[in-house]
Amino acid sequence: MIGYNKFFDYWFHYLVKVKNKYKSIGNKKPAKALINKDLYETLDMLKTTNEELYQIFNLTADGMLVIDPDYNILRINETLLALLGIDREKAEGKKCFDILHCTNYHTTNCPANGVLSGMGKIEYEEEKIFNKEKKYFVITATSLKNTEGQLIGVVETFKDVTELKQTEKEIKKLIYYDALTELPNRAYFVMQFEKAFAVAKAKEGMLAVMFLDLDDFKYINDTFGHSIGDKMLKNVAQRLKTIIHDEDVVSRIGGDEFTILLSKIKNMDEAANVAEALLNILQKPFHLNENEFVLSASIGISIYPMDGDDTETIIKHADMAMYQAKKQDINHYKFFNSSTKKDFSNHFNLVNHLRNAIERDEFFLTYQPQYDIRSGHIIGVEALIRWNNAKMGMISPTEFIPLAEDTSLIVPIGRWVLQTACSQMKSLQDEEFPPIRVAVNLSIRQLHQPDFVEMVRDIVKETGFDPNWLEFEITESIALDKFNYNISILNQLKEMGIKISLDDFGTGYSSLSYLKMLPIDTLKIDKAFIQNLAIDPSNKAISSAIINLSHTLHLGVIAEGIETNEQLQCLREQNCDYVQGFLLSKPMQLHELRKKLQSFS
Ligand code: C2E
Ligand code: CA
Ligand code: CA
């Protein structure tokens, strides 16, 4: 430890310096008397307390430094020496800025400067003070005055706030970043957008905001589970980052939704190029847990200054354009325009109207006959829901069923369908038509309702419809999520005599080994494979394979979407069992079906 003498030396040295300083600047006060008085008084005090004081000065948690008005280091404590990683000898006789490699320390930003030019106290935050280690300090510079109130130096304390900064960083990360993908989140996006927006406004520049939504993500998440979904999102984030430059922002604002800010564009083409690049990079297959996934996305773009004059509007318009892009096609981008707005308000209207549709009696069922391909007899019908809204007219189920599935409205709607199909078919049977099967489409969400089997049992009981003539059409997603649970539900339905058919077969991701375990009766070849049957040899191969597979598994097979005689002929050659399509019959209401059945009998 540096002893009393050395401490005294410093202090003395310091006071002498101060004396000289005051001399040199022509201080009118009697410097000598002043210095002597200070010196002796101080020494007097130090005689009794210096060891203690010295220890306190050295051991305090903050770095401390005393400089004279010429920036000469008069005192420096052990804590600051340790922080700087230098020996006391290296600090002695130096100017403060020789040892403190502060970024701005010797400029006007230097806190000592401010204090020396008359400001009483300055607090100053400094980062990267030392070359060796990045540290953050709060430096407080306070004027040191003698008993006469004259400025004789500056005392600086260095509070190490590195840890605090680290915590702050972590908190910021929580507030501004998405934990899963490590992309910025909505809050950060909005903040950055506002900055860029202010610049664009001032410089009459251009900005683009993109809203990107993955097309099949919900399906993947629901069927393959969240851990695959999460991996997928991380991978998507990585890919998006390869397209978006540093000065722009890509953020994840929820689920499978991403927003992108392009702040340096000069025209719409540039935004379109970026959108295309984003769509392309997402289309490359993803390999996760030995599965290969091919994704597509929809992008909506809005441009400042054309599409809005405030943050909220511009972001909202990009969202609307995305919604419209999604509706048009998969893997699509769309710029906002005035028709988007109209379309979007429709979307919200739709959900609101859908909530009231049952009460208002706006649904009705149509039935599309299914035929035995060999005999040409009607063997059953598929019940297909129709929605006729007073204001909006007829709305296609391809439009409102996904919406109903997203909002759980599918549960009451599905119940209504089953109830209506059973009671209408019962009425036909009561009219003594030969019985035909009715196929009712089931959403997986309905099946997962805890009281689903109960509900089915109640409905067949209430309507008196024989469940042996009831069939449920389920999609392949049944084979992937909650597999064992689904099997147990299907078995309970089968015990009631209900048939199960696997709809849209060939479009899902299910593996055959799973399918084999499902208690199903029929495979339904998706109409996508039927549509190009006569022209596309690969579709021909697919339908043929599905038909053979069904027969190997002792299942019936039905093809849907038959529109031409060539398609029908082809399916006949391939030995398909049943057919359904516009060529044979369009979906029709009960009274038309009655007529149709009459003409057959
Ligand atoms: P889906 O189950 O695949 O139903 C077959 C769709 O193909 C029906 O469309 C039908 O009208 C149409 N279709 C039939 N023959 C042909 C044809 O020859 N060519 C073409 N291009 N299309 C044909 P729809 O009625 O518009 O239903 C669309 C989808 O809505 C259905 O597809 C089904 O997924 C869903 N859906 C309809 N009704 C219900 C329901 O009651 N409950 C549930 N959960 N979904 C339903
Ligand atoms: Ca169907
Ligand atoms: Ca289908």
Residues in contact with ligand 1 (CB, 6 Å cut-off)? 368, 383-385, 396-398, 401, 414, 417, 441, 443, 473, 503-504, 527, 560-563, 581-582, 587
Residue whose CA lies nearest to ligand 1 atom number 25: 384
Neighbours of 555 (CB within 10 A): 18
pLDDT at 216: 77
Instruction: Please report which ligand is nearest the Cα atom of 501.
Output: 2
**Ion ligand 3 neighbours, Cβ < 5 Å:** 503-504
Separation of 440 CA from ligand 3 center, angstroms?
A: 11
Q: Which of 363, 560, 562, 578 to mutate to test the pocket of ligand 1 (most atoms within 8 A of CB)?
A: 560
Q: Can you give the residue ranges of every domain in the chain?
A: 4-165, 177-336, 350-599
Ligand 1 atom 20 nearest Cα:
561
Which tokens go with 181? 């993908």
CA of 384 to the centre of ligand 1 (A): 6
486 close to 472: Cβ distance less than 8 angstroms: no
Measured in Å, residue 400 CA sits from the centre of ligand 1 at 12
Q: Which CATH code, of 3.30.420.40, 3.20.20.450, 3.40.190.10, 3.20.80.10, is assigned to 350-599?
A: 3.20.20.450
The answer to whether residues 14 and 153 touch, using CB atoms and an 8 Å cutoff, is yes
Please tell me the residue having the least CA distance from ligand 1 atom 42. 441
Q: Which ligand ends up closest to the CA of 380? A: 2
Question: Considering only CA atoms, which residue is closest to atom 23 of ligand 1?
Answer: 561
CB 276 within 8 A of CB 194: no
CA of 66 to the centre of ligand 3 (A): 84
Give the amino acid at 201: K
Token reading at 214: 């993955």
What are φ and ψ of residue 110, in 5° steps? -60, 130
Residues 79-116 have pLDDT tens digits of: 888 888 888 888 888 888 777 766 554 444 566 777 87
pLDDT of residue 97: 78
Amino acid 19: pLDDT: 39
Q: Which atom of ligand 1 is nearest to the CA of 526?
A: 3
Tokens 């078995």, residue located: 491
Atom nearest to 397 CA in ligand 1: 30
Contacts of residue 29, Cβ cutoff 8 Å, sequence gap at least 6: 22, 148, 150
Give the span between the Cα atoms of 257 and 277, in whole angstroms: 17
End-to-end CA distance of the chain: 114
Compute the distance from residue 484 Cα to the ligand 3 centre, in Å. 24
**Domain 4-165 carries which CATH code?**
3.30.450.20
452 alpha carbon – ligand 3 mean position (Å): 22
Classify residue 177 by its DSSP letter: B
Class of the CATH-defined domain 177-336:
alpha beta
Give the position of tokens 């919900």. Answer: 218
Which of 441, 505, 529, 589 best tests ligand 1's pocket when mutated (most atoms within 8 Å of CB)?
Answer: 441
- Going from the Cα of 579 to the center of ligand 3, the distance in angstroms, rounded, reads 12
The angle formed by the CA atoms of residues 286, 287 and 293, to the nearest 5 degrees, is 50
Cα 581 to averaged position of ligand 2 atoms, centre (Å): 12
307-346 confidence digits (pLDDT tens):
888 888 899 899 999 988 988 878 889 999 877 666 666 6
* Ligand 3 center from residue 358 Cα (angstroms): 24
Q: Ligand 2 mean position to 582 CA, how many Å?
A: 14
pLDDT digits (tens, 9 = 90+) for 212-251: 999 878 888 888 888 899 999 999 999 999 999 888 999 9
Cut 0.85: pTM above it? no
Within 450-536, residue ranges assigned H as helices are 452-463, 483-495, 512-517, 527-531
What pLDDT does residue 161 have? 82
Which residue has its alpha carbon closest to ligand 1 atom 41?
A: 385
Please give the number of the atom of ligand 1 that sits closest to the Cα of 562.
18
Q: Give the number of whichever ligand sits closest to the CA of residue 526.
A: 3
Ligand 1 atom closest to 587 (CA): 11
| pLDDT value of residue 470 | 98
The pair of structure tokens assigned to 581 is: 């399509």
Helix (H) or strand (E) holding 210: strand 207-214
Closest residue by CA, ligand 1 atom 10: 587
Closest ligand 1 atom, CA of 410? 44
Q: Which is it for strands 136-145 and 151-160: parallel, antiparallel or unpaired? A: antiparallel
Which residue stretches of the chain have pLDDT < 70?
Answer: 1-50, 52, 101-111, 126-132, 340-346, 480, 508-513, 601
